[in-house]
Amino acid sequence: MRVITGSSRGRRLITPSGDDVRPTTDNVKESVFSIIQFSVEGRVFLDAFAGSGQMGIEALSRGAEKAVFIDNSRRSLDAVRKNLETTGLAEKAEVRNGDTLSYLSGTSQRFDIAFLDPPYKTGLLQSALMRLPKVMKGSGIIICEHPFDEQLPEQTGDFVIKKNYKYGKIMITVYSQREVDGI
């Protein structure tokens, strides 16, 4: 696993060991950032259910102003912190240990881009989607990684599905507000 492009291009990232972490493949990560390539620079990125933190780190490497990493696993957050130090991006990051759903319910932070990749088929994705609109900026983008056979709601708050992208058994679903184009 590596940073694809930007200021930390080519840097290797570590992944926490164990079956509970399922890193996004480089192919899917590259596709996600192709989708949002003109929307990252200067933005605030949420890497919920962060795992190794590779998605938020990729966003920072590509010019995001800030990334917030949330995970309830200390082992995962240790990997996120090490990866941030390896890439030299720690000063632009906020690493939060805790439950993503609780964070979304209580934060006053607003995000331009949110990436959600919770453990599959646990209901966490749908629960996070219900809470997410209140912490998103109006021009925000929500990106969900999930199994291709898991259905997501067509709408969450003012955000609607703009497009689905299938990569083998993985689906990327992109939400934005109705009037926001360019995705």
The two tokens of residue 32 are 């996600």
Name 19's Cβ contacts closer than 8 Å, sequence gap at least 6.
none
Cα–Cα distance, 105 to 108 (Å, whole number): 9
- Provide the whole-model pTM: 0.93
Q: How many whole angstroms from its chain centre is CA 51?
A: 10
Question: Do residues 46 and 93 touch, judged by C-beta distance below 8 A?
Answer: no
- Domain ranges for the chain: 37-177
Decide which of 1.10.10.60, 3.40.50.150, 3.65.10.10, 3.40.50.720 is the CATH code for 37-177. Answer: 3.40.50.150
Question: Do residues 15 and 83 touch, judged by C-beta distance below 8 A?
Answer: no
What integer pLDDT is reported at residue 181 of this predicted model?
A: 57
The residue type found at 72 is: N
Q: What is the pLDDT along the chain (183 residues), one digit of tens a residue?
A: 888 888 998 899 988 876 566 677 778 889 999 999 889 999 999 999 999 999 999 999 999 999 999 999 999 999 999 999 999 999 999 999 999 999 999 999 999 999 999 988 899 999 999 999 999 998 999 999 999 999 999 999 999 999 999 999 999 999 998 665 555
